[in-house]
Amino acid sequence: MNIPEQDIENALRHAPKPAPPAGLRERLAADTQNISGQADFRRNERSSQGWLRRWWPALAPAGISVACALTYNAQRAEIRDLQQSIQTLSQAASAANIPAQSSAPVKVVAPAMPAATEQEEIARLKGMVAQLAAEVGQLEQARTENERLRAQLAAPLPGTLTPEEAEALAKARDRAMSIQCVNNLKQLGLSCKTWALDNGDRFPSNVLLMTNEMSTPKILVCPADTSRQAANDWPTWTAANCSYEFMAPGASDREDPQRVLFRCPIHGNIGLCDGSVQMGIAKEHPERLVERDGKLYFQ
């Protein structure tokens, strides 16, 4: 059946138009933006990679050159510092006071010509600095000795002190002897405690039993005791070589820590069983010493 073309065209023109789906326009716009963003990202990535590929052959030699320049500058700065140190030490050596009769003249070594390499030059300069430092130290010692000798010459002769100075000197001497006496009592107390560790926590019955714990028999003589002389060794020691009174033979530091162990009749210092020492108690505060059952205690 033949339908005229005019009828077909009229039927198409009057046919109903289909409605587009809801939200079609928004989806198309979003897809368009995503595609545009991905294209920009790929374009930027390709441009950055292309910049690195183009410039790395030039950047690598430049970085190496900068590193070499920094190393060279650091070595030159170290050489300058060493040269300044040599100059300073040379001036100090020439200005020091040297005794003509006891010290040889200072020989300042002139800097040698630069070595083949910078490392050799640095090593040479370091050796020169060490040599000059040693010579300056010797000069400082000589100057200190000269100052000491001058001070001795300027000191007043014996017998020229004023009464006040003589009294102060005597008090200082007595104070020093009393302190030395305290040190002796501390060593004796420590020797007793050490001996007691191996002997049932009991002190010896006499001082000769703990000669291994005492360093020397000299600690048994008070420095202010002019009537006694310290023994040279233990075989020659006798009771006449002891200034201190041993007052707690066989005692225990745990049972009687406040009991008097040793006493100095000259200074009045006392050493207790617990190892402590009280200075001048027996002479200045005798009321603090109490006797109980034939034993002397400190309170």
Q: Which of 140, 136, 135, 82 is nearest to 111 (CA)?
A: 82
**Beta strands at 245-246 and 295-298: parallel, antiparallel or unpaired:** unpaired
Which residues have a Cβ under 8 Å from the Cβ of 154 and sit 6 or more positions away?
none
Q: Does residue 81 share a domain with residue 147?
A: yes
pLDDT for position 158: 61
pLDDT > 80? residue 223: yes
Examine residue 10 and state whether it is found in any structural domain, yes or no: no
pLDDT for position 99: 47
Examine residue 142 and state whether it is found in any structural domain, yes or no: yes
pLDDT > 80? residue 190: yes
Q: What is the rounded CA–CA span in Å between residue 283 and residue 95? A: 58
Of how many residues is the chain composed?
299
pLDDT > 90? residue 290: yes
Q: What is the rounded CA–CA span in Å between residue 176 and residue 10? A: 139
Which is higher by pLDDT, 37 or 217? 217
Q: What is the pTM of this model?
A: 0.46
pLDDT for position 237: 93
Q: Which of 151, 156, 106, 169 is nearest to 133 (CA)?
A: 106
Q: Does residue 137 share a domain with residue 192?
A: no
> What separation in angstroms does the CA of 46 have from each of 43, 52, 53, 286?
5, 10, 10, 102
Q: Does residue 142 share a domain with residue 216?
A: no
Q: Does residue 197 share a domain with residue 138?
A: no
Split into its structural domains, the chain has a count of: 2
Mean pLDDT is lowest, of 60-74, 83-97, 216-230, for 83-97
> What separation in angstroms does the CA of 105 have from each of 15, 86, 98, 100, 136?
127, 18, 8, 8, 12
pLDDT > 60? residue 287: yes
Q: Does residue 221 share a domain with residue 142?
A: no
Q: What is the pLDDT confidence band of residue 66, given thresholds at 50, 70 and 90?
A: confident
Examine residue 192 and state whether it is found in any structural domain, yes or no: yes
Q: Does residue 215 share a domain with residue 142?
A: no
Average pLDDT of 268-278? 93
Q: Does residue 223 share a domain with residue 138?
A: no
Examine residue 72 and state whether it is found in any structural domain, yes or no: yes
The amino acid at 124: R
pLDDT > 70? residue 166: yes
Examine residue 170 and state whether it is found in any structural domain, yes or no: no
Q: Does residue 285 share a domain with residue 205?
A: yes
Which is higher by pLDDT, 166 or 171? 171
Q: Does residue 288 share a domain with residue 195?
A: yes
pLDDT for position 100: 43
Q: Does residue 233 share a domain with residue 146?
A: no
Collapse the DSSP code of 71 into the 3-class scheme (helix H, G, I; strand E, B; otherwise coil) and give the result. Answer: helix
Tokens of 118: 């910078």
Which residues have a Cβ under 8 Å from the Cβ of 162 and sit 6 or more positions away?
none
The amino acid at 87: Q
- Domain containing 126: what range? 64-99+121-152
Mean pLDDT is lowest, of 63-77, 139-153, 223-237, for 63-77
Give the DSSP H or E segment for 208: none
Give the range with max mean pLDDT: 14-18, 140-144, 294-298: 294-298
pLDDT for position 51: 61
pLDDT for position 295: 93
Q: Does residue 198 share a domain with residue 135?
A: no
pLDDT > 90? residue 183: yes
Q: What is the pLDDT confidence band of residue 182, given thresholds at 50, 70 and 90?
A: very high
Go through 36-70 and write b for each residue having 16 or more CB atoms within 10 A of its CB, e for each that does not: eeeeeeeeeeeeeeeeeeeeeeeeeeeeeeeeeee
Examine residue 109 and state whether it is found in any structural domain, yes or no: no
pLDDT (tens digit per residue) in 12-52: 677 666 666 667 677 777 776 666 666 565 666 555 556 66
Which residues have a Cβ under 8 Å from the Cβ of 90 and sit 6 or more positions away?
108, 132
Examine residue 116 and state whether it is found in any structural domain, yes or no: no
Give the range with max mean pLDDT: 63-77, 128-142, 212-226: 212-226
Q: Does residue 194 share a domain with residue 148?
A: no
Mean pLDDT is lowest, of 64-68, 136-140, 205-209, for 64-68
Examine residue 245 and state whether it is found in any structural domain, yes or no: yes
Which is higher by pLDDT, 49 or 146? 146
Average pLDDT of 231-254? 92
Percent of the chain scored above 70 by pLDDT? 74
